[in-house]
Amino acid sequence: MATVIFAHGRDSGPWGPKIRVLARIAEHCGLRVISCDDRDTLDPETRILRLIKSASEETGQILLVGSSMGGYVATVASSQVGAAGLFLMAPAFGMPGYKRKMPNTEVENIEIVLGWDDQIVPEESVLSFARTHRATLHILPASHRLVEELAQIEGIFERFIQKSLALSPAAKPTGRQMACF
């Protein structure tokens, strides 16, 4: 069974509005859902190690989903956990104080959602990452939190799951679960 692992942002929690909505979609599609609770640390390097440990305990394909700092964390961890897909919302690339200004990944299936009105994440850093990794980029009329566009993000996420599972034959859902697509 494929697993979706969520990494939340710096000032949010493991079951914020975006994660609750996306977790419901993932579960409906028959995927296992884990949401890391990193509220006790603001250190992205600690969060990366925790995510790698959490992923190492899973069997089957892993899809990583990260928001803001969680997007940075998921990206850095993605190659080490062999993620089949990477879904990033307002990923915190190019941020001061982060060990890697521009993280790298070997994951090929990458979707990024960014808000036009994001006042936190440097837009140029996200665009550069998307260009370098040939990621699919969705820029929506939203702020950093992206909650204004949750309905649109739901559809983008569902298509991301479909694409991820199609690229990974071992993780294809059973007939009962195909109704989500």
Please calculate the CA angle 54-64-166 and round it to the nearest 5 degrees.
120
For residue 168, give the nearest of 83, 78, 75, 76 by alpha carbon: 83
Q: Note the pLDDT of residue 13.
A: 85
Task: Please enumerate in sequence order all residues whose Cβ is within 8 A of that of 97, keeping only pairs 6 or more positions apart, or say none.
Answer: none
Q: Note the pLDDT of residue 14.
A: 86
Q: Note the pLDDT of residue 173.
A: 44
Residues of the chain with pLDDT under 50: 171-179, 181
Fill in the amino acid letter for 102.
Answer: M
How many helices (H) and strands (E) would you count in the chain?
5, 6
Domains in the chain, CATH or no CATH each: 3-180 (3.40.50.1820)
Q: Note the pLDDT of residue 166.
A: 84
Q: How far is CA 10 from CA 26, 43, 50, 72, 78, in A?
A: 23, 9, 15, 10, 18
Q: Is the pTM of this model over 0.85?
A: yes
Please write the tens of the pLDDT for every residue from 4-19.
999 999 988 888 889 9
Q: Note the pLDDT of residue 165.
A: 87
Q: Note the pLDDT of residue 101.
A: 87
Q: Note the pLDDT of residue 167.
A: 72
> Which long-range contacts link 126-129 to residues 24+ away (Cβ below 8 Å)?
126/90, 126/91, 126/93, 126/94, 128/93, 128/94, 128/102, 129/75, 129/91, 129/93, 129/102, 129/103
Torsions phi, psi for 56 (to 5 deg): -65, -20
